[in-house]
């Protein structure tokens, strides 16, 4: 029997949840705990919706479940108190964009935005491209280097989230790009661009610094044993770019093989965790 997916308080539709939608394709979805018709469920909750970052009410609302696989999204600020969910043998916690002091059974990256397909173009026109907002110091540092970096490139900057080109145009650019530099978000080192690039066949270069500081180990947490290039200083971008372009066929194949396996392993992990807590 396929477990139900319950969207806590109807919290469905955020961009950060696209990876969860993909992960639970084919499942029965309910828009609230009271609609659940099972003794357990996959419960999706947004961390940034919990009052004062407290899980107390959420725990109370779900304590009747005999088992729960909790997928907590929207954890950008990392201020949610997840201690109430720890040590409960009937619960498995999956946490998106984990901060270094947050422990979980599994972790998820931001993922990709809704509508991002896996249409990979064999023809890559752009050596590298970036289309996005420049709204904090880390991205300003990237921009200073990017403007001077050679190659067949496309550099489009905006002043806010989703205020640039249309999503369709953005995906088209990424699909025709070999290398996608991925400067950090305002708080986490992660951004949607990383998984979008992977979905569309570009090779991402990852950032291990954000305006909040260094978090080098983040990428090993969400992508164990990954083959991606990571940088601490954006002045190194031209050198890493050159290395990737010179070895493009090999690097691209390696990255896409990893990405395919990572997604397959994630679905296997979901199945394994559900069996462990008695859902199957």
Identify the CATH number of the domain in which residue 173 sits. 3.40.50
In this structure, are 140 and 235 located in the same domain?
Answer: yes
Instruction: Quickly tell me which residue has 């569309």 as its tokens.
Output: 200
Closest CA to 184 of 220, 233, 149: 233
8 A C-beta contact, residue 95 and residue 102: yes
User: Do 215 and 138 share a structural domain?
Assistant: yes
Q: Quote the radius of gyration of the chain (alpha carbons, Å).
A: 19
Residue by residue, pLDDT tens for the chain (280 residues) are: 678 999 999 999 999 999 999 999 999 999 988 888 788 999 999 999 998 889 999 999 999 999 999 999 999 999 999 988 887 788 999 999 999 999 999 999 999 999 887 766 668 999 999 999 999 999 999 999 999 999 999 998 876 555 667 888 899 999 999 999 999 999 999 999 999 999 999 999 999 999 999 999 999 999 999 999 999 999 999 999 999 999 999 999 999 999 999 999 999 999 999 999 988 7
Are 140 and 241 in the same domain?
yes
DSSP state of 122: S
Q: How far is CA 94 from CA 4, 43, 189, 214, in A?
A: 16, 10, 19, 23
- Looking at the fold, whether 174 and 74 belong to one and the same domain comes out as no
- CA 40, CA 280: separation in Å to the nearest integer? 10
- 197 and 145 fall within a common domain: yes
What domain range is 170 assigned to?
126-246
Q: Assign 200 to helix, strand or coil.
A: coil
Q: Is 172 within a domain?
A: yes
Could you tell me how many helices (H) and strands (E) the chain has, helices first?
Answer: 8, 13
């Amino acid at each position: 029997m396929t477990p139900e997916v319950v969207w806590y308080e109807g919290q469905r539709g955020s961009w950060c949840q696209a990876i969860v939608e993909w992960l639970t394709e084919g499942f029965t979805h309910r828009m609230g705990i009271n609609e659940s018709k099972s003794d357990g469920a996959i419960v999706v909750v947004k961390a940034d919706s919990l009052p004062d970052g407290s899980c107390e009410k959420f725990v109370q609302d779900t304590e009747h479940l005999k088992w729960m696989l909790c997928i907590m999204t929207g954890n950008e600020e990392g201020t949610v108190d997840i201690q109430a969910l720890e040590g409960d043998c009937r619960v498995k916690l999956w946490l998106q964009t984990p901060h270094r002091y947050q422990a979980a059974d599994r972790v998820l990256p931001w993922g990709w935005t809704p509508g991002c397909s896996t249409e990979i173009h064999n023809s890559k026109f752009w050596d590298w491209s970036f289309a996005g907002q420049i709204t904090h110091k880390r991205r300003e540092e990237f921009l200073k280097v990017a403007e001077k970096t050679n190659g067949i490139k496309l550099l489009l900057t905006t002043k806010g989230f989703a205020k640039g080109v249309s999503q369709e145009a953005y995906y088209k650019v990424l699909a025709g790009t070999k290398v996608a530099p991925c400067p950090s978000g305002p708080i986490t080192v992660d951004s949607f661009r990383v998984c979008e690039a992977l979905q569309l066949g570009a090779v991402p270069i990852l950032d291990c610094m954000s305006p909040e500081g260094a978090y080098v180990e983040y990428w090993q947490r969400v992508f164990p044993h990954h083959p991606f290039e990571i940088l601490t200083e954006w002045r190194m971008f031209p050198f890493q770019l050159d290395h990737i372009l010179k070895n493009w066929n090999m690097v691209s194949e390696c990255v896409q093989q990893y990405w395919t396996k990572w997604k397959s392993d994630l679905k296997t992990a979901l199945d394994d965790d559900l069996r462990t807590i008695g859902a199957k």
